[in-house]
Each structure stands twice: as structure tokens, then as C-alpha cells.
Amino acid sequence: MSVFDGLKFRKVYSPIHNLDPRIKFVYVSAIFVAAIIFWELIPLTILFLIQVPFVILAGVKREWLRSMRGAMFLAIIIFLTNFIFRFISAGYVVIGSDLEYAFAMTLRFVVLVESFSVFFLTTSPDHLGLALEQTRIPYEFCFAFTTAVRFVPVLAEEAQTIMDAQKARGLELESGNFLKRIRNYIPILIPLIVSAIRRSLELAEAMESRAWGATKNRTNLYVLRMHRGDLVLIAITAGILATAIYIRLFFGIPSLNELLGGLV
């Protein structure tokens, strides 16, 4: 569940938390685009490092590290698949550039997780809903979205209880071969899904009995306004994106391997 922990919002105040969520989202999308257009190790490393100051400024280092640790498993799989395929197509020899490529692909994934983690760690579900609403997305969708985000920790907790209940009936999650282990999770997943559906129906009924959707034109107590910090972030975002596209189009990016004069 550590991946979820890395996305769980905790109320603290920092310059990053106070930024307009819409701008933060644009920033995350820009990082996303930049990470996709590069497949070399050096620019991806830079993209990774650019975000570290944000994490420190927001004071969410611990949670962020936890989400990074949670992403480790997938990262290793990405590294291995990339490396093994390159290794096979290169004719079963380890080539420095292949190793570098596999590293770069892994880092690309890490950069994506990193930016989303920073976004979710510093944006409260309420803020997020507000941002969606004020971008004129129908309220029903905004509500569905914020509810989904809000219920992630609840589901994580429930998954733990279900695991306990099944263990108490003699289920051993860590036993058997690979396929058996996957099958072991069926008794966990089904109750989890069923109760999520049941809960959503109950929530719908509870909300309707409290006159949800009675007024057509909703107004908000809080209205999002841009501040100086937001403008700075827009500038940074535009800078990163423009630089990334410019470099991609007009420069050949040397690989680390070439810079070091070829290791293998």
C-alpha cells in the first residue's frame, strides 16, 4: 500500500500547497510531456532533479520518498524488460548504451511518478475539486473525481481488514508458485470490489436523501485566484517546456556513454 501512501494528502502549509491547483496540473503535464519526448539519460536525470526543490519546498520529503519506494517494484520490472529485450536483440552481449537506455526508460517512469506524487501530495481533494469546477467541468464529474480520490485511503484500509479476515480463515498469501500467489489474491479482490460498489450505492442514496443536485447553479465559498507564486510557476513551466522542445528539435543529445568515451 506504500504507493497509495505516497499519494495521500496531508494538510500542511507551504508555498507549494498554496499554489493554484490548475497551474500545478499544467506543470505536471509539462513535465509529463518533457519526460515523454526524451529517451536519453541526461535530460531525464535533469527532469528528475528539477523537481527535488519542489519536494523540499513543500516539506513532503518523507511521503515522497515512500511513494518512490512504492514505485520501486514496477521500476525494476521496467528496467529488466527493457534491458533483457535489448540484450537479446544485441545478440546476447551487454552493451553500455543498452544499459543506459534501460536506465533512461526506468528514470522516465520514475519522473512521471515523482511529478504526480508531488501534485497529489500538495493538493487537497477539495482544492482539486474546486479547480475542476472552475474550469467549467460539470459538477457531477468533479464530485465523482474528488470522491474517488478521497476514498483511496479508505479502500487501502479496507483491503487490510479483508486480508486479515481471509488470513484468519487460513489463507496464506505468500504460499505456492507464481500463479498460485496471484490466485491467492482473488479472495481479497472480490470483497474489496463488492464493498466498493455497495458503498458507492449507499453513498448515492445518502446524498440524494440530502437533496444533492437540488440547485442548478452552485456557488462556491472559496474562489481560486492567481497569485504571484502561480505566475512564477507558469513561467517555470513554460521555460521547462520550451527548453525541452527546443533541445529536442535542434540538438543531438549525447549519451552518457559517448561522453565517457564508451565503457564497453
Partner 1 sequence: MIEVRDICFTYPNGIEALKGVSLTIRNGEFLAIMGENGAGKTTLVKHFNGLLKPTEGSVLVDGVETRKVSVATLARKVGFVFQNPDNQLFSETVEEEVAFALKNFGFEENVIERRVTWALNLLDLAQYRKTSPFMLSGGERKRVALASVLAWNPKILMLDEPTIGQDYQQKEKLRQFILQMKAQRKTTIIVTHDVEFVAECNPRVVLMRDGRIVADGEAQKILTDPEILIEASIVPPQIAQIFLQLSELGLPKDVIDVYEARKILLNVSERNE
Closest separation between CB of residue 183 and partner 1, Å? 12
Whether 94 contacts 264, CB under 8 Å: yes
Closest separation between CB of residue 194 and partner 1, Å? 6
Between the CA of residue 235 and those of 31, 62, 230, 232, 252, what are the distances in Å? 13, 28, 9, 5, 26
Beta carbon nearer to partner 1, 66 or 86:
66
* List of residues 6+ apart from 41 with CB closer than 8 A: 100, 103, 104, 107, 255, 256
Closest separation between CB of residue 149 and partner 1, Å? 20
Beta carbon nearer to partner 1, 40 or 158:
158
CA 229 distance to own-chain centroid: 23
Sign of CA dihedral 61, 67, 70, 71: negative
Beta carbon nearer to partner 1, 112 or 171:
171
Closest separation between CB of residue 167 and partner 1, Å? 4
Residues in contact with partner 1 by CB under 8 A are 158, 161-162, 164-172, 186-187, 190-191, 194-195, 198
Whether 124 contacts 11, CB under 8 Å: yes
Beta carbon nearer to partner 1, 137 or 186:
186
